[in-house]
Amino acid sequence: MIQINEEKFYTLLKFFFSQFFCDDLEKAIEDENEEVSVVTLFKGMEFFFDLVKEYNIDFPYSTIREYIINTYSDGESVYEKLAEKYHREIEIYQPKDKSFEEIFGDTQFI
C-alpha cells in the first residue's frame, strides 16, 4: 500500500477536479466534432466522486448530472447532450465495463 501525505493528496484531488470538472468538461461541451472523449470525461468524474465518498471529503454534488445541472444555466440540456455522446461512444469503446482505475491505472508511463 502506498501512503501519501494529506497535503499532497488534496493537491492531486484539486488538480483532478480542475482537469475533469473544469477544463475537460468545458472542452466536451464545446466539442461539436466529437473529438473529445466523453467516456474518459465521465469515467474520470465518476472516479473523483468515488474518491471524495471513500475519504469522506465534503463535496456538494454526488453525481455528474447533479453537478452539471447546478453549474450551468442550461444544465439539463448540457447533461443530456453529453450523456447522449457518452452512450454513442461507449458502444465503440473497448473496455466498456472497466473502471477508471482499470483503464488508466497502469503504472508504466511509456
Distance of CA 17 to the CA centre of its chain: 8
CB-facing half-sphere around the CA of 8: CA atoms within 13 A: 4
Per residue in 63-102, pLDDT tens?
A: 999 999 999 999 999 999 999 999 988 887 666 677 777 7
pLDDT of 53 over the 90 cut: yes
Q: Which residue has the cell 456538494?
A: 60
Q: Within a domain: residue 88?
A: yes
- Which pLDDT score is estimated for 16? 92
Q: pLDDT value at position 94?
A: 61
Q: Which domain holds residue 33?
A: 12-94
Percent helix / strand / coil, the chain, rounded to 5: 65, 0, 35
Would the CA dihedral through 14, 76, 40, 28 be positive or negative? negative
Count of structural domains, the chain:
1
In a domain, 41, yes or no: yes
